[in-house]
Structure 1
Amino acid sequence: CFLVILQYGSTDGVGVPHIPHTARIVGGKNATAGSWPWQVSMHHDDAHLCGGTVINTEWVLTAAHCIITGSNPNEVNRTVSQIIVHPDYNKGTRFNNDIALMKLSSPITYSTYIRPVCLAANGSLFYNGTRVWATGWGQPLVAHDVLQEVQIPVIGHNECGCYYTTYNLANVTSAMICAGELGKGICQGDSGGPIQYRQGAQWIQAGIASFGVPCAIGFPEVFARVSYFQLWIMNQTGGTNVSFVESTSSGTDPDSSFVCSVVTPTNTTTAPNTTASSPGSRTVSSELAFVGTVAMILLMPLLA
């Protein structure tokens, strides 16, 4: 197994891309080279499996469920010398504490195309509706595929939990953060990758792609909440040269007044379904029936 660090951007400092992002919403479009210099592609048997992020010269952050551990002219290859999965992964509820660290066999050298991301510090706030960016390659990865980016809203803890408990899918814990909307989001192969938020000139990683109901049908995707794990990350890495930044949200969080009732997002795509739903329209219940024939709740990626 080996790790490929794709040098996909250039920066002037931690969490600061040299190539500026536009203000447009990108629905799964090609990312501009220079946009996300901390993005990592984890490979297994010469194929992309999961994403990750560079947090310093020696460590990569990813999802616990990805643990197994690529050509781009700007890539740097590193094998992994140590893998640390959170000791409480899956404890208490499925997918809880879905976070892992990988120590590289040798330090990387920062360059025009590779730099670390800032991590959300304990106490960071991401209110319902906050716009964040998700990045990843999805699956399968074919030759010359380009990193994709999409802007999606944060879905508050109460609202997100309502979706998942209504259909008895999962418990959304305080170690998780949710984001996504109809037609925009993440799917297989994007696990372990980041959602990131711009604060001033810096980009702050808020979450690590964990699980969801495939794909972008209006159900929130769920991410490990990076700020929740600040102490654990610092303890495992020695805290050296890992940048934590407290993210703030102003005003009142709309999620604080959210009241859970039956929520039924509708998917307007024509993907297959196993119920009698009319073509081109599928309710959550029919989507869940379809997913149930594959792997219950989607683990991104679907690991065989």
Structure 2
Amino acid sequence: MYYLCRHPFMNSICLLLFLICLLSVAHSFRLSGDEEKIVGGKEAKKAYPWEVSLGNLMNVPSSRSRREQQSKDIKLDAHFCDGVLIHEQFVLTAAHCLIPYMDDKQFDTPAFGAGVGGRNLIEMYDDGRIPIIRAIIPSGYDASDGASPYDIALLQLESSMDSTPLACLSKRRRRRRRWHHHHHHHQYSGPLKAIGWGNTQPVVVNLYTNEMTGLAPSKTLKEAWMTDVSRAAPSCATRPDLVCVSPVTQGDAICLGDSGGALLSSSETVVGIASFGMGRNLGSNKYATCEGDAVYTHVPDYIAWIESEINSTLCTR
């Protein structure tokens, strides 16, 4: 199991949590580039102006001219998670993206910001990200548990995005079916679409040295088609608050840097927020990630909580 985060301060934290997950989570489901190719997938054909890139602001120059002079690698490496603009001043993302900030959720000196309205990470860096001034995380979220419920969070922007289109959240529950041990579970029919700026190739983790190889964030926003496999996936067996997905095309996958990104229904409403994925042992204390199936937080379960926290009615359908 691995988080899909890519925060420069989070690599060791994510790996630690990843190791905890290996020891503590009994159920998992088996995992069945280049800049244009999420792992595999393809460049997003259309604009998703509400899909947000969360990136570091620490050591980022305040002037555009100085930002433009920095290297491509610096600009790409600033990105660590995705998010979804759901309100003029609020972004929806995964709670685990905020692990470094759990102790103080009111940011007088914002350490990270949101790139809004674009598809290119380099252009977002040059344009400047909007500082995040506050984070709201459900009280039930457990940062020490890589599969914790409530892996969802709200981020308040320093300035309002009045002219940027907002995402619509799905309020429709998946169709109920009775299955193993009389549990009721939901599953979406039809293809789902994952979008994000995450790593373009699988990542290999050395469990002894904490080293990660293959880190290569995408410059452009990508998409990949997914199928809901929640009924067959052990990670979702007793967790209707999750959506387990498998790629339609072999070789596609979401990866590090895709955390907090949207999973879209056929009507392009947001049904999930990227949470975690599964990997496989390679031997010699190495672990491969980003090779197929992944798990999303089921957004319809949290609409009431979101609207209560921001004191506003969202676009839902």
CA apart distance, 1:124: 4.9
Q: Deviations over 1:137-186 (max 9, x none)?
A: 114566x8111111111112x3112xx4xxxxx97512111112342221
Equivalent residue, structure 2, for 1:30: 43
Equivalent residue, structure 2, for 1:101: 154
CA apart distance, 1:118: 0.5
Q: 2:245 aligns with which of 179, 190, 194?
A: 179
Equivalent residue, structure 2, for 1:261: none
TM superposition score normalised by structure 2: 0.57
Cα–Cα, structure 1 residues 131 and 76, in superposed 2: closer, same or farther, change >3 Å? farther
SS of residue paired to 1:107: coil
Equivalent residue, structure 1, for 2:223: 149
Q: Which runs of 5+ in 1 are unaligned?
A: 1-25, 165-169, 246-304
Residues 97 and 259, structure 2, Cα contact 8 Å, conserved in 1: yes
Write the distance in 2 (CA, Å) between the matches of 1:75 and 1:130.
37
Which aligned runs of 4 or more in structure 1 are off by greater than 4 angstroms?
A: 73-76
Q: Deviations over 1:196-235 (max 9, x none)?
A: 1132xxx2000000001144544x3100000011110110
Q: How many aligned residue pairs are there?
A: 202
Write the distance in 1 (CA, Å) between the matches of 2:90 and 2:80.
18
Equivalent residue, structure 2, for 1:205: 270
Write the distance in 2 (CA, Å) between the matches of 1:84 and 1:105.
14
* Partner AA of 1:66 in structure 2: C
Write the distance in 1 (CA, Å) between the matches of 2:197 and 2:127.
15
Cα–Cα, structure 1 residues 236 and 76, in superposed 2: closer, same or farther, change >3 Å? farther
Equivalent residue, structure 1, for 2:142: 90
Write the distance in 2 (CA, Å) between the matches of 1:37 and 1:115.
6
Quote the RMSD (CA, aligned, Å).
2.8
Q: 2:196 aligns with which of 136, 140, 160?
A: 136
TM superposition score normalised by structure 1: 0.59
CA apart distance, 1:76: 6.1
* Partner AA of 2:233 in structure 1: C
Cα–Cα, structure 1 residues 122 and 82, in superposed 2: closer, same or farther, change >3 Å? farther
Residues 120 and 205, structure 1, Cα contact 8 Å, conserved in 2: yes
CA apart distance, 1:37: 1.4
Write the distance in 2 (CA, Å) between the matches of 1:27 and 1:128.
23
CA apart distance, 1:244: 1.4
Write the distance in 1 (CA, Å) between the matches of 2:312 and 2:216.
33
Equivalent residue, structure 2, for 1:239: 312
| Larger fraction in helix | 2
Write the distance in 1 (CA, Å) between the matches of 2:316 and 2:127.
26
SS of residue paired to 2:304: helix
Residues 98 and 224, structure 1, Cα contact 8 Å, conserved in 2: yes
